[in-house]
Copies of this chain bind each other. A is one copy, B any other.
């Protein structure tokens, strides 16, 4: 028997690229760009960007200048757009890595005009209903024709594109088309992230921004997921033990055994980004003769461990050194996020970040 202590996150770059290609087809004739912000949703921006660059992607979106600088070596001649824009703290990254800011406001445009970078034409973000970043109509009216011609793209972002029939989709599309017609008739445009891709060609304009769906998240949950799951997370069993009737489990004693049970202690917890809200709600999968067994998490998720119920599995079916599965194609990021009361975006963003994880990329 061999023993292990460390969780392992497998990221399948082949399936990532397959998802990218499918989204590219759905977006056509619009060009696809890859969104690798937040360290590629926690999965590792350098590895993800390199794989997509090799697949032909030449436009990338990040959130912060530091993130753009991180991927520049892996996408040497690509355009890298920075969604949070530019400021005094991030300016050096733009200068050294040749990044393109997405300008959200007159104040930021004034900053840009003072710190222009040769050869870079910024993107302008406009407000169409998300009420997050973006120029308002009144602010656009204050730009001169010459200033407006400075921008390489006009960009906005949909708020409800994961709900096909939501009234906001049509409202934002109308507003965006009107802004484009009035202020940027000749400027290429981009409105849709992954979820908008599934809303049809009207929403694609010249460039789609592929993120969540590329990572396997179902961004069109009104129908079955067309994307492949690219993430597998497993963690080793440290101990198997009896849980006598009447004993309590975990912090604050939130589970009490109604009968004699058997439990496995699995080496992963919220310190690894597994949501603590999976307490008494999540599952660990063990495979016995190839069949999955969904073993409920008992009690609170702690920082480094979870405890799960293996009573229904045969004795010795789960032993120290075996691995339990937290995420795979039988229990996807969307399934886990639903059990945790959140969305898969937040789940994977937190999961990928602990440096103690073993991350393995499948090429």
**A interface with B by C-beta (< 8 Å):** 1-6, 37-39, 41, 63-67, 70, 83-90, 104-105, 107-108, 110-111, 127, 129-134, 136, 159-160, 162-163, 166, 168, 236, 238-239, 241-243, 247-253, 263, 265, 267, 270-271, 273, 276-277, 299, 302-305, 307, 319-321, 341-343, 345-346, 349-350, 353-356, 358
Contacts and interface: CB of A to CB of B under 8 A. Distances in A.
A244 to B, nearest CB: 9
Given A131-B263, A307-B131, A66 B356 contact: yes
Given A5-B86, A105-B320, A354-B38, A242 B160 contact: no
Given A107-B239, A350-B350, A355-B39, A5 B65 contact: yes
B354 A251 contact: no
Contact of A159 (B3, B251, B271): B251
B108 A241 contact: no
A3 B343 contact: no
A218 B54 CA distance: 50
Q: Is the interface of A mostly helix, strand, loop or mixed?
A: loop
Nearest to A273: B350
Copies of the protein in its oligomer: 2
B4 A87 contact: yes
A238 B85 contact: yes
Contacts of A250: 130-132, 159
A213 to B, nearest CB: 15
Nearest to A67: B356
Contacts of A349: 270-271, 303
Closest 3 CB pairs of A and B: A38-B271, A3-B87, A353-B353
Given A131-B250, A239-B105, A302-B132, A6 B38 contact: no
A160 B343 CA distance: 30
A236 B104 CA distance: 14
Contacts of A273: 350
B356 A105 contact: no
